[in-house]
Structure formats: C-alpha cells, structure tokens
C-alpha cells in the first residue's frame, strides 16, 4: 500500500485533517510564554562563570570578592552540590559515575573538560551586576593539553580526560587509561565468508564534524526554593519528568521535592533533554531566598550545550553482481564530548536496518574529548551511520550498474526480518517508501545542466515509546480540557487532541489541550524518540474511552435504562432499544453536574508496539565549479509516519528534518582553535541553512499504519534528518564525479576536492 495521503477520503473524521493548532495564534502573536518570559516578585538574575580552557585542573576557586560585590545575592560552586568523590562506596560505581558526570557537567568539580565548562554562578539584582561579579571570581588553573577530535582522542599519546576510564581496547589494547569509554558490537553470520562470496567489495572512511541542534530559544531556567523544602523550576525542556529526576539526583532530593514547570519551547531537537541550568537556578535561589533566573547567550548555547558527535566511520561492503548485499563490516567512533554517552548506539542500531544483510559486524566506540558533552540530536546517531552506508551503497550501485533505488529494493527489510540489534521487524514501510521514490515524477525528471546532479538515500529510525498520561475533563458546554505532560515542540497539542477527539467523536475545536507541570499530571516521558503521538496519543485515546464508559453509565442513570443497552458512537449516546432516545455529547455534558458530577477521563499508559519509520530523499544539486558551492535546487522528502494525524505537521517535521540534514551535509561544523576554543560561536559564523539556502522541500507521506497503535501511529519527528547527508553527497558525486567522504561539503572543501580530481 503506497499512497500520498488522500484527504477527505479517509476512514476518520478528525485524524488526517489539518485543524489550526490551539497554540498557534499565541505563538505567532507573541503571547505564548517562553522560559525567559517568567517574572516573579523579587526576581534575581544569574550568570555562570565558564572555563576559558579546554582542559585544566582547578586548583582553587575564590569567590570571596564576588560575594561582597554590591548587588550580589548568592554565589555557588561545586561545593554547593552533594557530589563528592568519596561517595563511590555508598552509591556503587554505576550510580556514582552517573552522578559524577551529571553533577560535574552542571558545575565542574576537580577539572574543567571543555572551553565553556561551568565553574561557578552568581545571582544578583540584575544581569549586569551578575556579569560584573563573575570577573571577581578567582580560579587557579593548571592548564593541560587538550584533544578535540575523535581520532586524536583515541591515539595512545592523547591527553586523558578521566583517570578512571580504562576500557581502552581500540586502537591499543595495552593502554591502561584511555578516552574510549565503551565498546559495543552487533554481529551476525560470517562476515569473512560474505566478503569471499561477494563479486564486489568496496570500502570507505567517512567523517562528520560536531554540529549543534541550533534551536532558536536559548536555554533559560528560573528556580524558586521554598523554605518548606520544595523547589519550583520554570524551564524550557523537552523532558519535564526526566529533568525533574536529574535535578533531584544532582541536588540529592527526592523527585517529589521538585516542581518542574515547562514553558513553551522554541525548538529542542534533542538538545533540551539535558539538565544544565536547572540545578544552578535552584541552588542560587536556595542561597539567596529569592527566585533566580538564568538565561544563556547564544555563545554559551554553542559552547556548553549540545552538540552531537563528530565521528569517523570505516565501512566495507560486499555484494553479489545480482545486487544482493552479502557482507558489511563497520567500525564507528563517536565523540561523546567531555563525558561518556555519544549516540553511537543509535547509529549502530539503524545504519543497516532498512536492509536485510546476512553477514555483518558493527563495532562502535564511545570516545570522550575536550568538547561539550554531546546530547541527543534528532534521530541520535542515525544520520552519521546513514551517511556512511548510503554513500557506500550509492558507490556500489554505480559499480554494479544498478538503479540505486532498485538496488536498495533488492535488499529491503520486511516484516519478520531481523534487525541488527536483534529485534524482529514488525510491519515496516521500507518497500513502500522505496517504491514511492521510484514512482515519483521527481525521480524521472531529467536534470537540466551538466553541473547538476541527483542523489538519493534512505534512512531508518526506530522511534520510541514510554510512560505517558492524559487527563480529560468535560466542560458543561461540551468542550473537554485535555491535560497532558508532553511538551509541545511540533504541533503535538493539536495532534494529541485530534486522536482524543477522534476517539470521542467530537470536533477537535471542542478540545482544550494544556501542557501542565510535573505536579499536575501523571509521569510522562520525554518529548523525544518521535514518541509523543504514539504514547500520548494512546493515553488520549484511553482517556476518551474512559469518558465514553462514564457517559454510557450516566445515560443509563438519566434514562433509567440498563447500561448494557446504551451505546456510544460518533459523539452520540443512545438506547439500543429505542433509537429515538439519544443525547449528543454537548447535550449530555450540560447534564453532568446535576446527575452525579463532572466526568473526568484518565489515560495512563506505557505502550509497547512501537513502529519504526523509513524515510527517503531525492535531492538535486547544482555545483558551482568555480567556487565549490553546492546549491540545492530540488528536494523531495518521503516518510512513513504510520498515520499522519495532522498532515501539515507531519510535512513540517519532514521539511524541518530534511533542512537540518542539508545543513549538516553542506555547512555546519564546529571550528576549533588551537586552544580548544570554538571559533564560530555565533549564528553569524555557525552556518545554518536559512530560507534562502533551500528550495521548498516537497513532501510525500507514505502511510503504512502501525498495527501496534490504535490509530496506526509510528512517529514522525526524527527520521527525515537521516537521508540528506548521503543524498547530498551522492548528488555531488552525480554532478561532479567526486565522492566526498567528510562533511560538511562546504565550498572550500568541495573546491579542494574538485581541484584534486582535476589534478588526478
């Protein structure tokens, strides 16, 4: 089943339509409240002192002068946090290290591990005083050599970040200490045999640079500690409950002592899952007795939050002349930044997953270096793995003289085949996506000039679930307040409301979705993993079913008819034995208070049945041979969301993900200076795509409903970022005959490659 979603021709009333999002007007008129909009009586302003060195031992911190500076109300350092090295025994190694990494990244303990690492914080009556006072904090450093590149960090002579990491087995097993924090492996079949049986074996080494999530809204958090021991924290986060948990861990509190109030969020893309400012704001408030707000500058965002990993991927692939991939060997090393935890696992789990490959071995290494701790970025890891695999597949299809999509179709994963991570594929839309690409007019439209080229690539993303809660209260006018814990970063309020309205048979405009704080709703896992429409949609569906049950009971009471004779369908409750006896939802809503009280529906779930998404790009580029500049002249994005609840926001996610992938492919990178400092720490110099850089991205939604969800949802937010990296590189190969294996494909890099090819 392949279909561009056909509106007006679907089985649903509300799902698949495009209502205006409930939060839309407030967001475009400036009324929506973001984290930095918070004001409260007596508010103080905080600033953070950050390391000027990429790697140094902190020998002493003296805050005395800052503390007495007029207008300063509190100064904190790591001494105000409960982390201490002697807690290893008490906590056990795993918990201790988890606390150490989290706490030391919030405020450095014995060492600073990257330029911009937070060391101390000041709260003052205004931001200027706070900034002044930062200069009065004296830190004595012993500067160490630094390493800011994954390959350098793995060398035997690399500066070592953490004395306790000794799992080094790559490249040198003899090392006692290492920057390699972990090693994982997925393998199946007999790789050597696979290569032996292959007609063609090719290989390549692919590199990517650090790139940042680049959300518009810098992090901001306000803490207000009550003398009753509870602290309220207003912050922009994708993960209110997880951040609550992490703040609790860093501060040594039970989670219930923290009330986390999420604001509207100006973009996250994974970068707002982490916990940076929240414990600092809380502690400054505890010390000062006042609410304290901290807001990052853009430079702080780039230097001390995010990014995702720079990487190196060595990959070798063997295939039979008939187009079967027989073996893959891949070796991935990802920067984790200052503390372990790169998205290496995501890359390993997804890079080969759209294909059935009988023999493979995938090794992954998580490597620390002197850069900010990496955090999640849209389909974490998958774009990097995809860049290598999809580039190599493009080369292989050229060698085999096969259409690159047909070559992929030859090897496409199907329901029942086993993923590299061992999970068996449930119903998956890989074939449908590939056929959609093959049949799309874009794929067969001739290019216009010699300097144009076309590239294709596909991507796989596993998507995710988690606990989620929705509580829905019926108003006397027949509208329903839908309370949810999922922060809305991409139109999720309206799409959750559509699933709720669909289940209850009421218009979506009759719902009032509200995202509330951690005291106001049940545990709801993060807005991430493309999981909100899956899990919170399911919770909303469950809450609607709970309301239907109660509405039937109430009708039974009102009509004095046994409840077994009452039916509810399409927003109308009726007596099965007397079809004239009906009440629509608005009518019964008006009767509730007088017939037993209001009706509240609850949905509290942690559903299994997640469905993965496959995605694809056709990208046409034009290369300026004089400058090396690549222009994207046409781009079509394909994705299987399972069910497109709100097609506009599905398309928006596909377009947004694709543009971020294009930015990663073409321009984005961290330029690091000789002392480990980021040289391009502003949006003027960190080159993200603007609307002038990309054409309108055409989208094609291919719905292959997920049988594991009431409405067939898989998820949509992440997968579209995967294919552009290779699709652009493949298009450049098509246009100019050069295979570039390191991102970004910036004009100077392309120009150098073109020059080298000419010389060759």
Q: Applying CB under 8 A, which residues contact a second copy?
A: 22, 24-26, 29, 31, 33, 37, 39-41, 224, 226-228, 230, 245, 254-256, 259, 466-469, 471, 473-477, 479, 481, 483, 510, 512, 514, 516, 518-525, 539, 592-602, 604-607
Residue 75's closest CA among 245, 280, 236?
A: 280
Rank residues 36 and 402 by Cβ distance to a second copy and give the closer one: 36
Rank residues 515 and 743 by Cβ distance to a second copy and give the closer one: 515
381: which DSSP letter? T
| In the complex, least distance from residue 425 CB atom to a second copy, rounded to whole angstroms | 24
Residue 313's closest CA among 725, 34, 706, 8?
A: 725
Rank residues 104 and 220 by Cβ distance to a second copy and give the closer one: 220
Phi, psi of 461 (to 5 degrees): -135, 135
Rank residues 308 and 465 by Cβ distance to a second copy and give the closer one: 465
Q: Which residues contact 492 (CB under 8 A, 6 or more apart)?
A: 486, 527, 532, 533, 536, 649
Rank residues 446 and 608 by Cβ distance to a second copy and give the closer one: 608
The size of the chain, in residues, is 760
Rank residues 110 and 519 by Cβ distance to a second copy and give the closer one: 519
Q: Following DSSP, what letter does each residue of 567-632 receive, concatenated? A: EEETTEEEETTEEEEEEEHHHHHHHTGGGT---EEEEEE-------EEEEEEEEEEE-TTT--EEE
Q: Residue 734 and residue 729: Cα distance in Å, rounded?
A: 9
| In the complex, least distance from residue 260 CB atom to a second copy, rounded to whole angstroms | 12
Rank residues 590 and 688 by Cβ distance to a second copy and give the closer one: 590
| In the complex, least distance from residue 254 CB atom to a second copy, rounded to whole angstroms | 5
| In the complex, least distance from residue 517 CB atom to a second copy, rounded to whole angstroms | 8
Q: Which residues contact 456 (CB under 8 A, 6 or more apart)?
A: 394, 404, 405, 437, 443, 616, 617, 618, 619, 723, 727, 730
| In the complex, least distance from residue 274 CB atom to a second copy, rounded to whole angstroms | 20
| In the complex, least distance from residue 606 CB atom to a second copy, rounded to whole angstroms | 3
| In the complex, least distance from residue 259 CB atom to a second copy, rounded to whole angstroms | 8
| In the complex, least distance from residue 553 CB atom to a second copy, rounded to whole angstroms | 12
Rank residues 550 and 680 by Cβ distance to a second copy and give the closer one: 550
Contact 622, 449 (CB under 8 A): yes
Rank residues 440 and 548 by Cβ distance to a second copy and give the closer one: 548
Rank residues 19 and 724 by Cβ distance to a second copy and give the closer one: 19
The order of strands in the sheet holding 231-235 is 72-77, 118-124, 44-50, 292-295, 220-225, 231-235, 258-262
| In the complex, least distance from residue 683 CB atom to a second copy, rounded to whole angstroms | 23
| In the complex, least distance from residue 227 CB atom to a second copy, rounded to whole angstroms | 5
β-strands 566-569, 572-575: how paired? antiparallel
Tokens describing residue 695: 């054409």
Rank residues 327 and 547 by Cβ distance to a second copy and give the closer one: 547
Phi, psi of 318 (to 5 degrees): -120, 140
Q: Residue 83 and residue 101: Cα distance in Å, rounded?
A: 10
Q: Residue 407 and residue 398: Cα distance in Å, rounded?
A: 10
Contact 334, 367 (CB under 8 A): yes
């Amino acid at each position: 089943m392949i279909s561009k979603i056909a509106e007006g021709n679907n089985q649903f009333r509300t799902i698949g339509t495009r209502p205006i999002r409930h939060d839309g007007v407030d967001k475009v008129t400036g009324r929506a409240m973001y984290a930095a909009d918070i004001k409260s009586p007596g508010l103080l302003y905080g600033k953070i002192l950050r390391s000027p060195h990429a790697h140094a031992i902190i020998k002493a911190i003296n805050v005395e002068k800052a503390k007495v500076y007029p207008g300063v109300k509190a100064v904190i350092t790591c001494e105000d946090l409960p982390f201490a090295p002697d807690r290893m025994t008490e906590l056990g190694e795993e918990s201790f290290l988890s606390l150490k990494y989290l706490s030391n990244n919030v405020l450095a303990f014995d060492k600073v591990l990257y330029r911009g690492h937070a060391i101390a914080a000041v709260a003052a009556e205004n931001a200027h005083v706070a900034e002044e006072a930062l200069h009065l904090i004296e830190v004595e450093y012993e500067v160490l050599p630094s390493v800011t590149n994954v390959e350098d960090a793995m060398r035997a002579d690399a500066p070592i970040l953490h004395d306790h990491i000794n799992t080094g087995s790559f490249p040198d097993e003899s090392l006692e200490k290492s920057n390699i924090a972990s090693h994982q492996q997925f393998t199946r079949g007999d790789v050597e045999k696979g290569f032996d049986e292959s007609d063609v074996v090719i290989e390549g080494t692919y590199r990517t640079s650090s790139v940042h999530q680049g959300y518009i809204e810098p992090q901001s958090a306000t803490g207000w500690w009550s003398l009753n021991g509870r602290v309220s924290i207003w912050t922009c986060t994708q993960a209110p409950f997880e951040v609550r948990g992490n703040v609790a861990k860093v501060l040594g509190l039970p989670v219930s002592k923290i009330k986390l109030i999420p604001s509207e969020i100006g973009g996250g893309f994974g970068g707002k899952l982490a916990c940076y400012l929240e414990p600092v704001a809380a502690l400054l408030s505890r010390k000062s007795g006042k609410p304290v707000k901290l807001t990052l500058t853009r430079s702080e965002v780039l230097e001390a939050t995010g990014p995702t990993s720079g990487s190196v991927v060595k990959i070798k692939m063997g295939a039979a002349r008939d187009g079967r991939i027989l073996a893959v060997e891949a070796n991935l090393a990802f920067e984790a930044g200052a503390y372990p935890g790169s998205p290496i696992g995501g890359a390993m789990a997804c890079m080969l997953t759209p294909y059935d490959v009988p023999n493979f071995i995938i090794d992954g290494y998580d490597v620390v270096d002197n850069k900010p701790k990496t955090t999640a970025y849209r389909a974490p890891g998958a774009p990097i793995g995809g860049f290598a695999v999809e580039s190599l597949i493009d080369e292989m299809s050229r060698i085999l003289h096969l259409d690159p999509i047909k070559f992929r179709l030859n090897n496409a994963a199907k329901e029942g085949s086993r993923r590299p991570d061992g999970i068996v594929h449930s119903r998956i839309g890989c074939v449908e996506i590939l056929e959609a690409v093959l049949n799309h007019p874009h794929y067969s439209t001739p290019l216009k000039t010699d300097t144009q080229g076309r590239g294709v690539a596909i991507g796989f993303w596993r998507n995710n679930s988690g606990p989620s809660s929705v509580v829905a209260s019926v108003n006397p006018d027949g509208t329903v307040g839908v309370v949810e814990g999922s922060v809305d970063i991409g139109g999720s309020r309206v799409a959750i409301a559509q699933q709720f309205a669909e289940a209850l048979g009421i218009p979506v405009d009759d719902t009032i979705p509200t995202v509330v704080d951690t005291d106001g709703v049940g545990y709801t896992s993060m807005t991430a993993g493309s999981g909100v429409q899956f899990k919170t949609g399911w919770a909303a569906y469950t809450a609607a079913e709970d309301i239907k049950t109660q509405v039937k009971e109430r009708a039974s009471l009102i009509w004095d008819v046994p409840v077994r004779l009452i039916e509810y369908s399409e927003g109308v409750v009726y007596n099965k034995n007397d079809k004239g006896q009906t009440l629509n939802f608005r009518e019964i809503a008006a009767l509730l208070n007088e017939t037993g009280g209001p009706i509240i529906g609850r949905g509290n779930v942690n559903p299994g049945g997640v469905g993965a998404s496959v995605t694809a790009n056709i990208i046409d580029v034009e290369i300026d041979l004089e400058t090396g500049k690549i222009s994207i002249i046409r781009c079509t994005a394909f994705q299987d969301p399972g069910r497109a609840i709100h097609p506009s926001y599905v398309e928006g996610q596909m377009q947004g993900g694709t543009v971020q992938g294009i930015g990663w492919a073409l321009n984005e990178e961290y330029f690091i200076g000789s002392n480990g400092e980021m040289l391009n720490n502003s949006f003027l110099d960190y080159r993200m795509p603007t609307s002038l850089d990309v054409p309108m991205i055409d989208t094609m939604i291919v719905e292959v409903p997920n049988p594991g969800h009431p409405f067939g949802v898989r998820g949509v937010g992440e997968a579209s970022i995967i294919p552009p990296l290779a699709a652009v590189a493949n298009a450049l190969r098509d246009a100019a005959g050069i295979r570039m294996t390191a991102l970004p494909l910036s004009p100077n890099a392309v120009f150098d490659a073109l020059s080298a090819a000419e010389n060759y």
